[in-house]
Structure 1
Amino acid sequence: MGEVESREKAILVGCGSKRDEWEVRSSLEELSRLADTARAEVVATFVQFRDKVDPAWFIGRGKAEEIAREAEEQTVDLVVFDRELTPAQLHNLERLIPCKVIDRTQLILDIFAMRARTKEGRLQVELAQLQYLLPRLSGRGRELSRLGGGIGTRGPGETQLETDRRHIRRRIRDIRRELEQVKKHRALHQSRRRKNEILQVALVGYTNAGKSTLLNRLTASDVLAEDRLFATLDPTSRALPLPSGETVLLTDTVGFIRHLPHQLVAAFHSTLEQVKEADLLLHVVDMSHPEAQEQIEVVESVLEELGASHLPVLLVFNKADRVAEAPLLAPGRDTIAISAFSDRDLEHLVRAIDARLYETAVIGRAEIPAEKGDWLALLHSRAQVQETEMDGSCLSITFRMPKRRFDRLPPDLLSQIQILSM
């Protein structure tokens, strides 16, 4: 009851070419889910089909006036446009419409501000919000005075922004310095993991594909998992033991979405760099979603932007329990269909991860002198030892090891190894 009463009333507005009607309406449906995540109640939706957006109003002036009348009649709190508005469009619409006007970018930023839990996450969101707001401040005195809080004002807020642009630029510099320190701290942890040769697997995918649920089920964790967009913002890592005896680090990451604000991609770049360090990406897809193929393409586009498109990927089609039969979405790709709530499916997935990590493994035989106990310990910690024989004063060990690990063995140990197959 409390949450329903506190919800702001919202009108959603979409615009696009008639040729792309399906995409326009689909994007508006997603915007409605974003609004729900931000705790808004959608009371009306407007769509205008036109070949080009109006440079001054985004939609036509007549449609803008119609929306203004509807906003007044329904006493709505905000109007949300499904594309990023230019400063000029935002300024004109705010003068005409008698309530808050925000766009898709600002709504997503608002959700991120609401969801961020760690200090780094909050700094990244604030940086993105300030970068978004800075070019949109001039001439907004009257409009800002009626915002009053709620959706579109979470995070740094509007009070200082209204009066002091220099303060914003100074704050942006300060945040970037703080994030640089956090980045150095993470790089230190990353180098330790690399030194210890811990294999890393990253969960990536469209928002609400079920990544957090999968992390929880695979590692017996309690990461927040909700049926809402962007339930997880801050990356979470957990240990995952594999059948081979290997233990990998499984990391959950922020979900992607179409028209993801470039400010957010830039602000979260340091966090998402963990994706680039992974030995394997688990690209989790909601196979029950009618636009699963489009969502795959969005995620692959963001991975390319991050410089992570070259990494090995296992496509994990999740929520198989919701569909009658698996659609053929990725012929020729490395895929597996599962339900995160099926123990049997999870066993299959863990075996698939194990096999994928060792796909480029080196099988070798090492002749270890009896006095080289450190070499023996190293092989046992980094490889799957398959056979051990005593040969005179040497121990002959046959092993299987991921190629990346093999390439990092000490040169004097490498000289004692015969490669049997790669």
Structure 2
Amino acid sequence: MYLRSMRQPNYIEVQRYFMERNWPAFRGWGLSAILPWDQSSLWQPDPQSEQKVIVNPKRWEGLERPGIVPDRFYPNEQWIYHPSSHGVIPTSLGKAFLRWNQPRIAFLAGKEEHFTEKSHQFACGEVLRKTVVMVNDSRSTALFHYRLNGDWGWEQKREVKVQPGRIARVSYTCRLPNDPGKYTITFEATDEQARKYRDTFTVHVRPRLAPGKIEVDLYDPANTTAKLFDRLGIVYRKITTTSSQPHHDILVIGREAIDLKTSLPWLKNGNYRRVLILEQRSEVLQNRLGFRIQEYAVRHAFIRTPDHPVLKGLDDAWFSHWRGSATLLPPYLPDAETDNPHWFWCGFRNTRVWRAGNVGTVASVLIEKPSTGNFMPLLDCGFDLQYSPLLEYDDSAGTILFSQLDITGSSASEPAAATVLIRM
């Protein structure tokens, strides 16, 4: 059953997706000797080739020698076992390995200080800063001639020499168009041996969204959300106690504003038409609000309710690889990686998966979709898509929007996050 599942197209496509996004990073860090261990998924029978049993013409030779001699060679999905090199072709995963497992590779990467970051959303007219990475694990000096081309009319050419066993990271900058849209940067290179290299990077240029005439009440003891509102031009009136009277129809509860003892009368008395609760910590969501949660630090979320006013007109690209590093969780788990980490979840001591780094995170602490109650997930993410970083609760008194998106406190300004916040 396991071997059959490994040959399923969807399984191989997941492997390819993972490999194409991680193998260049491994190589860029200088890790050049890696055993994939999935060679059975790298090849498949060639539908254009006749798959037949081949009789061994030398089956009667050397019979007195030790060892066995096969009478026939049978078709096999693994290239190393197949009787003919023409009987198999690479799968999509195999093609990815043929590209990224060469002695020399070159690709478009992130910023110079963190080349594995994949931020792709920028404001109109903003300056983009990224790098080109060239890896030379061959035994001779490589001379790369490359050209960068942006489809809005930008171009750059360079020549880079990379010594054997070395890696070159070359920064480039360009000013993005003033018009919102989807643009592509293309990288094309040749080396002194006439080998060709090509890569592309998609840039989403977002419009600068004005908040309009939004006026809200804000409960923000830590003053973290207020700083963000000031920067975005959102008009608010701070309320300092949980018993303060409402001044507007919308209440925003700021990041980490709720603790295990905070009174929450706004969630019961219906004084506000809409309540927006921004990022809260795990213990509050679980032990104060009663949700099941998970600490994932995901870099992709997927739109579940496309017609909702917050999400209408957006696509999944808005919720992937946000800029900077999230700060709701520490970047690494506290224990050394010697065994499966443990934590207390829903009153039980459980193992959990490892995670490392907060760069590009869209949501750190996730709410598991409730199985009861009038909840509607607006976004899906995580294992089996069973978590939602944006969850709406609706009743006759109004709506409550739970947003665990890493909007507040990020180390960099993300245009998509600002747009989603204003829409909320």
Whether these two folds match at TM > 0.5 is: no
**Alignment TM-score, normalising by the size of structure 1:** 0.26
Larger Rg: 2
